[in-house]
Amino acid sequence: MAPLVDEITELLIAELNLRRSPQELDPQAPLFGPDGLGLDSLDALQIATAIEEKYGVRIPEGKEAHPIFQSIASLAAYVASAR
**Total number of domains in the chain:** 1
Question: Average pLDDT of 4-26?
Answer: 95
Torsion of CA 17, 39, 29, 62, to 10 degrees: -120
Q: pLDDT above 70 covers what percent of the chain?
A: 99
Nearest residue to 4 (alpha-carbon basis) of 54, 53, 43: 54
**Cα distance between residue 34 and residue 81, in whole Å:** 29
In this predicted model, what pLDDT tens digit does every residue of 65-82 receive, in sequence order? 999 999 999 999 999 999
- In terms of pTM, does the model score above 0.95? no
Backbone Cα Rg of the chain: 11
The mean pLDDT of the chain is: 94
pLDDT score at 1: 59
Asked if residue 75 is part of any domain, the answer here is: yes
Residue 35 above 90 pLDDT?
no
State which residues form the domain around 7: 2-15+35-82
Nearest residue to 72 (alpha-carbon basis) of 34, 36, 33, 18: 36
Which CATH number belongs to the domain containing residue 44 in this structure? 1.10.1200
Residue 28 above 70 pLDDT?
yes
